[in-house]
């Protein structure tokens, strides 16, 4: 299916707004929570006792959100249907001693988060966002969404072989952004983020801050059949999963408990209290069973009947590097979501999972494609195998095929986000 010029862009417009409002994972979970609130969900705290009443709830922990909807008549052993995704994206993150200077330039010290395509962060107008932690233990979101920072590339005159030999970047020396002139200005970072948050700089005791490209998402192509934006990996799926959960909550007589599980720290291996390798999802599901009066046996029965669709971006065939792909598995944008297969369990999909996803796509009238790596190429991974192994939950890996994965600005088909969301809705509402 190719995107017709008159393709309804309502869903993709909404995705673009979600991406713009979510420069960091902390903003992404706030954006998802806002949408769930509008659908009647309410936030519950992990430190409070939970009731077993019907209705929508969500838990926020750092950059992770778990939302679920308990239908009227849900029993303790009612299984879950989970859409899994991740909220974090590769980028540059501010170091603990942030203010540096060199030869008359003021700079910001950054670490590389995840497997960022470093060259794509060069010569862009970068903003700064994330959260700050205050002396009283509170936190505040900050979003300096204006051209503030730049990682300047070396001029070609000073790097004569760059176009033939390839660009070589040292992660420590070459990736430090500039943001002013003058001697070392200790306290500059804290001052600017405190001002943005409207707090006294003396109250700022910690931060989790990162860069983002301030260029907004844009439709691209002859017929506008692509969407160019940062953080498609994986806020595209977080957005689709949020829409699917909100839609499921409006359906009567759901046979399952629909869940959205959007984790932090996928891009560095998921091993954290907010990552898929931690106990967050299992704790929430278990507590939901126990709050409805369930026993350990009810929990085991519920988990045994549970299915997770792990949604994350995948690789569309690259026209300039087709040899990097498997010859018979070459997903194209606007052809619908991809089922991701790797027999060595870098993806959790098996034949059963294929059946589950195909049935959901059929019900939604959504075309779908398959992805498998070229045997000579190492395969990426997702939260899918981790969720399957940690919780013993049947899991299927799916997603939207994109180009330029882990670039500061990625590219997807304009129709695919809607097609993915439609398939996820059909999965949750079956």
Question: Which positions lie near Zn ion, rule CB under 5 A?
Answer: 233-234, 312
Start-to-end C-alpha separation, the chain = 24
Q: How far is the CB of 239 from Zn ion (least distance, A)?
A: 13
Q: How far is the CB of 44 from Zn ion (least distance, A)?
A: 27
- CB closer to Zn ion out of 233 and 286: 233
In order, the DSSP letters of 242-258 are HHHHHHHTT-SS-SSEE
Query: Closest Cα to residue 44, out of 27, 34, 57?
Result: 57
- CB closer to Zn ion out of 15 and 248: 15
Query: Closest Cα to residue 113, out of 231, 242, 236?
Result: 231
- CB closer to Zn ion out of 90 and 370: 90
Beta-strand (E) ranges in 218-354?
218-220, 226-229, 257-263, 307-311, 314-315, 338-340
- CB closer to Zn ion out of 87 and 211: 87
The β-bridge relationship of strands 226-229 and 410-413 is antiparallel
Q: How far is the CB of 92 from Zn ion (least distance, A)?
A: 17
Query: Closest Cα to residue 241, out of 31, 387, 413?
Result: 31
Q: How far is the CB of 89 from Zn ion (least distance, A)?
A: 8
Beta-strand (E) ranges in 49-192?
55-61, 64-70, 80-86, 91-102, 105-113, 126-134, 139-149, 178-181
- CB closer to Zn ion out of 234 and 334: 234
- Residue 197 backbone phi and psi in degrees, to 5: -85, -10
Q: How far is the CB of 224 from Zn ion (least distance, A)?
A: 25
- CB closer to Zn ion out of 87 and 247: 87
Q: How far is the CB of 90 from Zn ion (least distance, A)?
A: 9
């Amino acid at each position: 299916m190719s995107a017709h010029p008159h393709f309804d862009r309502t869903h993709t417009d909404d995705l673009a707004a979600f991406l713009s409002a979510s420069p960091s994972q902390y903003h992404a979970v706030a954006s998802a929570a806002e949408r769930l609130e509008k659908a009647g969900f309410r936030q519950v705290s992990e430190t409070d006792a939970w009731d077993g009443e019907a209705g929508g709830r969500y838990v926020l922990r750092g950059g992770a959100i778990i939302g679920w909807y308990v239908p009227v008549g849900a029993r303790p052993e009612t299984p879950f249907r989970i859409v899994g995704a991740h909220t974090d994206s590769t980028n540059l993150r501010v170091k603990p001693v942030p203010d540096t200077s060199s030869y008359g330039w003021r700079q910001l010290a950054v670490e590389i988060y995840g497997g960022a395509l470093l060259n794509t962060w060069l010569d862009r107008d970068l903003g700064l966002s994330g959260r700050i932690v205050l002396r009283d233990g509170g936190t505040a979101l900050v979003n300096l969404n204006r051209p503030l920072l730049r990682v300047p590339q070396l001029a070609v005159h000073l790097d004569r072989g760059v176009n033939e030999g390839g660009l070589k970047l040292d992660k420590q020396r070459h990736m430090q952004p500039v943001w002013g002139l003058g001697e070392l200005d200790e306290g500059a970072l804290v001052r600017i983020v405190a001002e943005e948050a409207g707090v006294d700089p003396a109250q700022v005791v910690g931060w989790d801050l990162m860069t983002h490209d301030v260029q907004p998402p844009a439709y691209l192509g002859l017929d506008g059949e692509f969407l160019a934006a940062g953080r498609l990996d994986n806020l595209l799926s977080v957005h689709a999963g949020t829409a699917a959960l909100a839609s499921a909550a409006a359906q009567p007589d759901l046979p399952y408990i629909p869940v959205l599980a959007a984790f932090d720290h996928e891009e560095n291996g998921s091993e954290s209290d907010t990552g898929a390798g931690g106990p967050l999802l299992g704790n929430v599901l278990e507590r939901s069973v126990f709050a409805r009066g369930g026993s350990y046996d009810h929990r085991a029965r519920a988990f045994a009947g549970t299915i997770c669709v792990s949604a994350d971006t995948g690789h569309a065939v690259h026209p300039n590097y087709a040899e990097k792909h498997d010859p018979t598995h070459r997903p194209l944008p606007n052809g619908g979501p991809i089922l991701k297969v790797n027999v060595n369990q870098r993806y959790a999909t098996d034949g059963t999972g294929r059946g589950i996803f195909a049935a959901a796509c059929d019900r939604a009238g959504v075309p779908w494609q398959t992805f498998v790596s070229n045997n000579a190429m190492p395969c990426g991974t997702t939260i899918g195998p981790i969720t399957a192994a940690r919780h013993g939950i049947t899991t299927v890996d799916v997603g939207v095929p994109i180009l330029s994965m882990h670039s500061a600005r990625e590219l997807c088909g304009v129709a695919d986000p809607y097609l993915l969301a439609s398939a996820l809705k059909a999965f949750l509402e079956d």
